[in-house]
């Protein structure tokens, strides 16, 4: 049993291959779940007596948002939109809205939910888009934040974890469309 555990750990530490890139284990599912639980508690405390609308950015946010919602103990509503700024492992700097939200959010308290904030271009574009819709308030939340890559002044109200400026996959995050279903997060090997 011990040998099997050691062999599994060695195999796991070698990393995984996605197309032409190798990724090494970086953040475990347990660590992610703890960070999400902590975020859900803080957000709930801030919105006591309110019904916030959590707006997620597809596709990457899907796993974070579903786990966050399971931990959020108050009433809330959800909506999604789709934006795209990354090609492969690089940001293009050009944010496209592929799908806008369908619900009426006039007069509502909004929390914008991102899987990862890198340059901040996506979050900024999303903030601009939503603030035109006459909402009551907007706050921002992200599971992962790369402070060294961030280029915007916009405040991020809720942050799950700070990470270095390196490309990661797993837990909703992809490389060329793959890797989103990995339960842990992996970092691109140098
Ligand atoms: P930003 O606009 O802040 O530069 O990037 C935000 C979007 O780019 C994220 O929602 C995500 O789709 C993608 N992105 C940024 N950094 C990473 C990363 O390290 N890994 C993956 N898979 N996507 C990333």
Give start and end residues of each alpha helix (H) in 54-99.
62-71
Say which of 75, 118, 148, 174 is annotated catalytic. 118
The stretch 168-172 carries a mean pLDDT of 97
- 36 touches 54 (CB < 8 A): no
pTM for the structure as a whole: 0.90
Pick from 88, 83, 95: which is nearest to 119 by CA? 95
Pocket test for ligand 1, best of 26, 58, 94, 118 (most atoms within 8 A of CB): 118
> What is the band of 100 on the pLDDT scale with cuts at 50, 70, 90?
confident
For residues 162 and 58, the model is more confident at 162
Q: Of all atoms in ligand 1, which is nearest to the CA of residue 167?
A: 19
- 64 touches 181 (CB < 8 A): no
> What is the band of 88 on the pLDDT scale with cuts at 50, 70, 90?
low
């Amino acid at each position: 049993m011990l040998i099997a555990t050691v062999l599994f750990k060695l195999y796991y530490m070698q990393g995984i291959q996605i197309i032409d890139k190798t990724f090494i284990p970086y953040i475990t599912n347990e660590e992610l779940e703890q960070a999400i639980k902590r975020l859900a508690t803080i957000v709930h405390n801030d919105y006591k007596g309110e019904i916030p609308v959590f707006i997620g950015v597809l596709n990457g946010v899907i796993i974070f948002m579903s786990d966050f919602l399971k931990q959020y103990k108050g009433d809330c509503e959800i909506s999604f939109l789709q934006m795209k700024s990354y090609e492969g492992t690089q940001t293009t700097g050009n944010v496209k809205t592929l799908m806008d939200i369908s619900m009426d959010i006039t007069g509502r308290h909004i929390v914008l939910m991102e899987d990862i904030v890198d340059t901040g271009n996506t979050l900024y574009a999303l903030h601009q888009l939503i603030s035109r819709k006459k909402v009551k308030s907007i706050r921002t939340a992200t599971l992962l934040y790369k402070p060294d890559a961030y280029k915007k002044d916009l405040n991020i109200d809720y942050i799950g974890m700070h990470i270095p400026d390196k490309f990661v996959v797993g837990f909703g995050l992809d490389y060329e469309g793959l890797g989103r279903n990995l339960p842990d997060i992996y970092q691109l090997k140098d």
